Structure 1
Amino acid sequence: MFTFDGRPIPHDGRQSVAAALLAAGIRSWRSTRVEGRPRGVFCGIGVCFDCLVTVNGVPSQRACLVVARSGDVIEPQDERREGT
């Protein structure tokens, strides 16, 4: 398991963070810079930047490319607050 916004999220050791979040019923984990609109996975292959999360304190990680690892601390990314 890893945690997302303090919530334990199961994974199978092969899933991306995005896949594990979707399997857990979480559809949005980033808010846009200008209007704060919710975003989640869009392309699923690392081309866009809709699925950005903070992984173990490192912001702007693409959830669709990062493999979920037990013990990781994943946080939603609020671009209005973080300025990324």
Structure 2
Amino acid sequence: MENEDQKNKTVVRKPRFLCLHGFRTSGEIMKKQIHKWPQNVLDKLDLVFVDAPFPCNGKSDVEGIFDPPYYEWFQFNKRCPFV
């Protein structure tokens, strides 16, 4: 009987979302912004925050609002002007 009960149980997992921050910000900044959402919404989601691979090479628009570090998803290559 116990095995049948275990078979009938379904594991409900929260939907997982990869949260990618904007240009010259960070995963931590995005986390702070999203955690202003209603708690009943956040409780239903599995949010994963990551940082872009490159440290910021210029001024961030969020300086003075959020503390560094800031990251970029790509960097311009001076040898490749179309990027």
TM-score by length of 2: 0.23
Greater strand proportion: 1
Greater helix proportion: 2
Higher CA-based Rg: 2
Q: Larger relative CO (CA 8 A, sep 6+): 1 or 2?
A: 1
